[in-house]
Amino acid sequence: MKIILASASPRRRQLLENVGLHDFEIIHPCYEESFSPDASPEETVCELSRGKARSVAGALPGDAVIIAADTIVYLDGEILGKPRDELDACAMLKALSGREHRVFTGVTVLRGEREITSFECTLVRFRELSDREIAAYVQSGESFGKAGAYGAQGLGALLVERIEGDYFNVVGLPLCRLARMLEELGVRLL
């Protein structure tokens, strides 16, 4: 059985390797990430992960297991995706400073005709950040390619005061939920 990670994220690849999955292939999904502004964050991440998984499914054998995920940061009723540039990253971090936000990750697992999609939500609180700290973090380059302009697994750990829920969800792949989904499709990680 072939396992495919439909993601360009090195963090997701590393998380799968950390739980003992080493024999998998990475295929970058060809999927235009767009969503309805009226959709809930749960609906948004589920739809995005489903689209990524389906975008790679057609070229693979039916018994292949495809894993896809999408993560967003949700603050004040607004979805914060990946920053467009340094100004956007600074604005996101300033908005998150000293406040709580939610991180949503949608996960889709496909195997043949079977498709399972779910999501995880984690509450994250940032400490108060000075303008100098925000600028220094953005200058590190770590903001780019990450929802909400931060990564909790690197220098971004210095911004996070508290996490309630699945830490790995904040990194981009809720491993406990994923393991249960894979088990439903006959893939056991333990």
Vertex 9: Cα angle to 78 and 143 (nearest 5): 50
Q: Does domain 3-184 have CATH number 3.90.950.10?
A: yes
Is residue 152 within 8 Å of 124, Cβ to Cβ?
yes
**Is 37 in contact with 16 (CB distance < 8 Å)?**
no
Yes or no: say if 142 and 155 are a contact pair by the CB < 8 Å rule.
yes
Q: Where are the beta strands (DSSP E) in 56-159?
A: 65-75, 78-80, 100-111, 114-126
* Ranges of each domain in the chain: 3-184
Active site residues: 70
58 — pLDDT class (breaks 50, 70, 90): confident
How confident is the model over 69-114, as pLDDT tens digits?
999 999 999 999 899 999 999 999 999 999 999 999 999 999 988 9
Nearest to 119 by CA among 187, 66, 71: 71
What SS3 class is residue 186? coil
User: pLDDT by residue (tens digit) across 137-148?
Assistant: 999 999 999 999
Give the integer Cα–Cα distance in Å for 66 and 189.
15
Tell me how far apart the alpha carbons of residues 169 and 159 are, in angstroms, rounded to a whole number: 17
190 confidence band (pLDDT: 50, 70, 90): confident
* Alpha carbon distance 157, 103 (integer Å): 15
